[in-house]
Protein backbone atom coordinates (compact mmCIF):
# COMPACT_ATOMS: atom_id res chain seq x y z
CA UNK A 1 0.00 0.00 0.00
CA UNK A 2 1.12 3.49 -0.79
CA UNK A 3 -0.59 6.81 -0.20
CA UNK A 4 -1.68 8.63 -3.32
CA UNK A 5 -2.34 12.35 -3.00
CA UNK A 6 -5.26 13.85 -4.88
CA UNK A 7 -5.62 17.56 -4.24
CA UNK A 8 -5.20 17.84 -0.44
CA UNK A 9 -6.34 14.29 0.46
CA UNK A 10 -4.33 11.07 0.75
CA UNK A 11 -5.83 7.73 -0.22
CA UNK A 12 -4.09 4.41 0.62
CA UNK A 13 -3.77 2.46 -2.62
CA UNK A 14 -2.18 -0.59 -4.08
CA UNK A 15 -0.73 0.31 -7.46
CA UNK A 16 0.40 -1.93 -10.28
CA UNK A 17 3.53 -0.56 -11.95
CA UNK A 18 3.27 -0.89 -15.71
CA UNK A 19 6.76 -1.88 -16.86
CA UNK A 20 6.59 -2.60 -20.58
CA UNK A 21 10.14 -4.04 -20.53
CA UNK A 22 8.86 -6.87 -18.33
CA UNK A 23 5.76 -7.35 -20.45
CA UNK A 24 3.32 -5.62 -18.12
CA UNK A 25 1.08 -3.24 -19.97
CA UNK A 26 1.72 -0.37 -22.26
CA UNK A 27 4.71 1.95 -22.50
CA UNK A 28 2.26 4.88 -22.42
CA UNK A 29 0.83 3.93 -19.03
CA UNK A 30 2.80 4.59 -15.84
CA UNK A 31 0.49 2.79 -13.44
CA UNK A 32 -2.94 1.27 -13.20
CA UNK A 33 -5.51 2.46 -10.69
CA UNK A 34 -7.63 -0.66 -10.66
CA UNK A 35 -11.21 -1.57 -10.01
CA UNK A 36 -10.30 -2.78 -6.51
CA UNK A 37 -9.14 0.74 -5.58
CA UNK A 38 -12.16 2.35 -7.21
CA UNK A 39 -14.38 0.12 -5.08
CA UNK A 40 -12.34 0.63 -1.89
CA UNK A 41 -12.69 4.41 -2.10
CA UNK A 42 -16.28 4.25 -3.36
CA UNK A 43 -15.38 6.16 -6.49
CA UNK A 44 -17.84 7.32 -9.07
CA UNK A 45 -16.93 7.84 -12.68
CA UNK A 46 -18.82 10.57 -14.49
CA UNK A 47 -17.99 10.35 -18.19
CA UNK A 48 -20.38 13.14 -19.03
CA UNK A 49 -18.13 15.66 -17.28
CA UNK A 50 -14.93 13.52 -17.51
CA UNK A 51 -14.24 13.27 -13.79
CA UNK A 52 -13.53 10.66 -11.15
CA UNK A 53 -15.14 11.32 -7.76
CA UNK A 54 -13.63 9.93 -4.55
CA UNK A 55 -15.94 9.44 -1.57
CA UNK A 56 -14.69 11.26 1.57
CA UNK A 57 -15.35 10.30 5.18
CA UNK A 58 -17.83 13.16 5.66
CA UNK A 59 -19.99 11.93 2.75
CA UNK A 60 -18.72 14.57 0.35
CA UNK A 61 -16.92 13.76 -2.89
CA UNK A 62 -13.54 14.91 -4.12
CA UNK A 63 -13.50 15.54 -7.86
CA UNK A 64 -10.45 14.53 -9.91
CA UNK A 65 -10.93 15.62 -13.55
CA UNK A 66 -9.57 13.31 -16.24
CA UNK A 67 -6.70 14.61 -18.29
CA UNK A 68 -7.61 15.37 -21.87
CA UNK A 69 -5.60 13.94 -24.72
CA UNK A 70 -4.38 17.46 -25.54
CA UNK A 71 -2.87 17.72 -22.03
CA UNK A 72 -0.77 14.55 -22.32
CA UNK A 73 2.55 14.52 -24.15
CA UNK A 74 2.77 12.30 -27.21
CA UNK A 75 5.04 9.76 -25.46
CA UNK A 76 2.20 9.11 -23.01
CA UNK A 77 -0.53 8.67 -25.62
CA UNK A 78 -1.58 12.30 -25.87
CA UNK A 79 -1.34 15.00 -28.50
CA UNK A 80 0.45 17.74 -26.52
CA UNK A 81 3.27 19.07 -28.68
CA UNK A 82 1.85 17.45 -31.81
CA UNK A 83 2.70 19.45 -34.90
CA UNK A 84 0.41 18.54 -37.80
CA UNK A 85 2.65 20.22 -40.37
CA UNK A 86 5.68 18.17 -39.28
CA UNK A 87 3.59 14.97 -39.20
CA UNK A 88 2.22 15.68 -42.69
CA UNK A 89 5.72 16.33 -44.04
CA UNK A 90 6.89 13.02 -42.59
CA UNK A 91 3.92 11.18 -44.13
CA UNK A 92 4.60 12.84 -47.48
CA UNK A 93 8.26 11.81 -47.31
CA UNK A 94 7.31 8.21 -46.47
CA UNK A 95 4.78 8.07 -49.32
CA UNK A 96 7.24 9.50 -51.84
CA UNK A 97 9.91 7.04 -50.73
CA UNK A 98 7.45 4.15 -51.07
CA UNK A 99 6.44 5.28 -54.57
CA UNK A 100 10.09 5.71 -55.58
CA UNK A 101 10.95 2.17 -54.38
CA UNK A 102 7.93 0.72 -56.18
CA UNK A 103 8.92 2.46 -59.43
CA UNK A 104 12.50 1.23 -59.09
CA UNK A 105 11.21 -2.29 -58.51
CA UNK A 106 8.94 -2.09 -61.56
CA UNK A 107 11.76 -0.60 -63.69
CA UNK A 108 13.97 -3.52 -62.68
CA UNK A 109 11.34 -6.06 -63.77
CA UNK A 110 10.58 -4.44 -67.16
CA UNK A 111 13.36 -4.83 -69.69
CA UNK A 112 13.55 -2.52 -72.64
CA UNK A 113 14.44 -3.83 -76.13
CA UNK A 114 18.10 -2.84 -75.75
CA UNK A 115 18.41 -4.83 -72.49
CA UNK A 116 16.81 -7.86 -74.13
CA UNK A 117 19.29 -7.72 -77.04
CA UNK A 118 22.27 -7.49 -74.65
CA UNK A 119 20.92 -10.39 -72.62
CA UNK A 120 20.32 -12.47 -75.75
CA UNK A 121 23.90 -11.82 -77.00
CA UNK A 122 25.26 -13.18 -73.74
CA UNK A 123 23.24 -16.41 -73.85
CA UNK A 124 23.67 -16.83 -77.65
CA UNK A 125 20.04 -16.57 -78.59
CA UNK A 126 20.13 -13.23 -80.39
CA UNK A 127 18.94 -14.73 -83.67
CA UNK A 128 15.91 -16.32 -81.97
CA UNK A 129 15.01 -13.00 -80.36
CA UNK A 130 15.21 -11.25 -83.74
CA UNK A 131 13.00 -13.89 -85.29
CA UNK A 132 10.40 -13.33 -82.57
CA UNK A 133 10.60 -9.57 -83.13
CA UNK A 134 10.16 -10.09 -86.89
CA UNK A 135 7.12 -12.34 -86.24
CA UNK A 136 5.54 -9.61 -84.13
CA UNK A 137 5.94 -7.08 -86.93
CA UNK A 138 4.07 -9.34 -89.40
Do the beta carbons of residue 111 and residue 119 sit within 8 Å?
A: yes
32-90 pLDDT per residue, tens: 778 888 899 899 999 999 999 999 989 899 999 987 777 777 776 677 878 888 888 99
| Per-residue confidence (pLDDT) for residue 118, from 0 to 100 | 61
Residue 121 lies in a domain: yes
| Per-residue confidence (pLDDT) for residue 44, from 0 to 100 | 94
Note the pTM of the prediction, 2 decimals.
0.47
Residue 89 lies in a domain: yes
Q: 63 and 14: one domain?
A: yes
Identify the three-state secondary structure at position 74. helix
| Per-residue confidence (pLDDT) for residue 124, from 0 to 100 | 56
Identify the three-state secondary structure at position 138. coil
Q: Which helix (H) or strand (E) holds 44?
A: strand 44-46
Q: Which helix (H) or strand (E) holds 71?
A: none
Residue 4 DSSP class: E
Indicate the residue among 41, 69, 97 that finishes a domain. 69
Residue 116 lies in a domain: yes
What's the total number of domains in the chain?
Answer: 2
**Domain assignment of residue 64, given as a range:** 2-69
Amino acid sequence: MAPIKIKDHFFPCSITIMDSEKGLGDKNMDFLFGLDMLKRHRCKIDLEINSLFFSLDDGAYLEAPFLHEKDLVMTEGGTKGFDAAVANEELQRIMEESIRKQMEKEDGNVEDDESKKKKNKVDGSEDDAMDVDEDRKK
